[in-house]
């Protein structure tokens, strides 16, 4: 049985997964409220909160699974990329837990974790596939050939991540942080053709993405439109349509270029209903098998880290004590 800890951004999470890939418990303590007043995550505030939450969240995960710590065979933890101070809190906690019982430690890459959200029972999706990973910190298209940490990036954002673009759009529309889900809700009442926002098609065989120009276009439109509710819903719907169109067109192009017949979609933005529906439609048309991450596992959680850990090398006791976290991939 693997106990995993995730603390790379503003979620403190712990989860237990058994040897067969069954999820026994998953606890996520979001710090979103804490950071909302600043309009984004404040790294040092996040680290301090992780320090307070880490042990109670682990205790809760064990309690929910109905098992004692003595039943755990290995401790897994996100070692990067992410906020360095936040990562160090999770890593230090994981090291201490593993060391206390002379258990192995399994360091996991956060992006591998997002992909591994697809590997859990009862409906695991097996590689090979092309993955669209769209979160608050990353947006990339990559070929995945096996369950391990390796992936071949074929396209990525040149500036903002898709989740960041959703969050910044939400902020411009006065929706608070994090705004992806709130923007999707507001957009339901709007006309998605009210505004024509152009999206950039950039670089590398046209597989890269860019969202920063879109954000500027929205800012200009918000200033021009004034602040009434119908107008804001139209702006949200049109902005979301542009983001989704950009993601879908780059993804379908990447499927063509790589010749892959299965598409996997993971990360916080994979929770977006309009994106899910658009990909379902396009994949059905193109004869591509589509695997969407379960809604509960799109945003950051430790279940995906435990899942990835099943396919990573374990460091034996006590070799891991000098292991460091890393901020960028
Ligand atoms: O994967 P994640 O939890 O964290 C990172 O690794 O970055 O992704 C968080 C991002 C945020 O930017 C959030 O606004 C976005 O995912 N998000 C959404 C939705 N739910 C979360 N974006 C669009 N539509 C949603 N329903
Ligand atoms: Zn993430």
Neighbours of 285 (CB within 10 A): 9
Give the Å distance between the CA of 227 and the centre of ligand 2: 32
pLDDT at res. 176: 87
CA-wise closest residue to 109 among 73, 150, 141, 55: 150
- Our answer on whether the CB atom of 139 is closer than 6 Å to any ligand 1 atom is no
- Our answer on whether the CB atom of 80 is closer than 6 Å to any ligand 1 atom is no
Give the Å distance between the CA of 34 and the centre of ligand 2: 18
Give the Å distance between the CA of 275 and the centre of ligand 1: 12
- Our answer on whether the CB atom of 135 is closer than 6 Å to any ligand 1 atom is yes
Q: What is the pLDDT averaged over residues 85-95?
A: 98
pLDDT bucket at 225, cuts 50 / 70 / 90? confident
Q: Which residues contact 79 (CB under 8 A, 6 or more apart)?
A: 87, 91, 107, 108, 109, 323, 324, 325, 326
Q: What is the pLDDT of residues 19-45, one digit of tens each?
A: 999 999 999 999 888 888 888 889 999
Whether domain 2-116+300-322 has CATH 3.30.870.10: the reply is no
- Our answer on whether the CB atom of 197 is closer than 6 Å to any ligand 1 atom is no
pTM: 0.96
- The answer to whether domain 2-116+300-322 and domain 126-297 are alike in fold is yes
Question: Angle, to 10 degrees, between the axis of helix 43-65 and the axis of helix 84-100?
Answer: 40
Give the CATH class of 126-297. alpha beta
pLDDT at res. 206: 77
pLDDT at res. 202: 58
- 58 - beta bridge partners? none
Burial of 99 (0-12, 13-18, 19+ CB in 10 A): middle
Q: What is the pLDDT of residues 204-224, one digit of tens each?
A: 567 999 998 999 999 999 988
Q: Residue 161: nearest ligand to its CA?
A: 1
- Our answer on whether the CB atom of 312 is closer than 6 Å to any ligand 1 atom is no
pLDDT at res. 226: 74
Give the Å distance between the CA of 235 and the centre of ligand 1: 19
Give the Å distance between the CA of 229 and the centre of ligand 2: 31
Q: What is the pLDDT averaged over residues 245-266?
A: 96
- Our answer on whether the CB atom of 165 is closer than 6 Å to any ligand 1 atom is no
Residue whose Cα lies nearest atom 21 of ligand 1: it is 268
User: Which residue is associated with the tokens 């591998």?
Assistant: 112
Residue 200 pLDDT > 80, yes or no? Answer: no
Residue 203 pLDDT > 80, yes or no? Answer: no
Domain regions of the chain by residue span: 2-116+300-322, 126-297
- Our answer on whether the CB atom of 160 is closer than 6 Å to any ligand 1 atom is no
pLDDT bucket at 228, cuts 50 / 70 / 90? confident
Q: What is the pLDDT averaged over residues 111-132?
A: 98
């Amino acid at each position: 049985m693997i106990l995993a800890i995730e603390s790379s951004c503003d979620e403190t999470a712990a989860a237990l997964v058994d040897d067969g890939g069954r999820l026994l418990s998953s606890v996520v303590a979001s710090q979103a409220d804490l950071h909302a007043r600043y309009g984004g995550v404040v790294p040092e505030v996040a680290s301090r909160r992780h320090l307070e939450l880490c042990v109670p969240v682990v205790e809760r995960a064990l309690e929910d699974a109905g098992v004692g710590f003595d039943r755990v065979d290995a401790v897994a933890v996100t070692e990067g990329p992410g906020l360095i101070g936040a990562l160090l809190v999770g890593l230090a906690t994981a090291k201490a837990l593993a060391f206390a019982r002379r258990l192995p430690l399994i360091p996991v890459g956060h992006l591998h974790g997002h992909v591994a959200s697809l590997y859990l029972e009862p409906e695991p999706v097996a590689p090979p596939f092309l993955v669209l990973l769209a979160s608050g910190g990353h947006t990339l298209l990559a070929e995945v050939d096996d369950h391990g940490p390796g992936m071949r990036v074929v396209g990525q954002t040149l500036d903002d991540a898709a989740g960041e673009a959703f969050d910044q759009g939400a902020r411009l529309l006065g929706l608070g942080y994090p705004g992806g889900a709130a923007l999707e809700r507001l957009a339901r009442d709007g006309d998605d053709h009210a505004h024509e926002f152009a999206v950039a098609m950039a670089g590398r065989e046209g597989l890269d993405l860019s969202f920063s120009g879109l954000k500027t276009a929205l800012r200009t439109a918000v200033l021009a439109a004034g602040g009434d509710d119908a107008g804001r819903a139209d702006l949200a719907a049109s902005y979301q349509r542009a983001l989704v169109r950009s993601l879908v067109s780059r993804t379908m192009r990447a499927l063509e270029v790589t010749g892959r017949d299965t598409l996997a979609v993971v990360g916080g933005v994979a929770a977006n209903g309009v994106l899910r529906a658009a990909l379902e439609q396009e994949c059905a048309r193109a004869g591509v098998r589509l695997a969407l991450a379960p809604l509960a596992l799109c945003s950051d959680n430790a279940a995906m880290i435990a899942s990835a850990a099943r396919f990573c090398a374990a460091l034996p006791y006590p070799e891991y004590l000098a292991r460091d976290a890393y901020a960028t991939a």
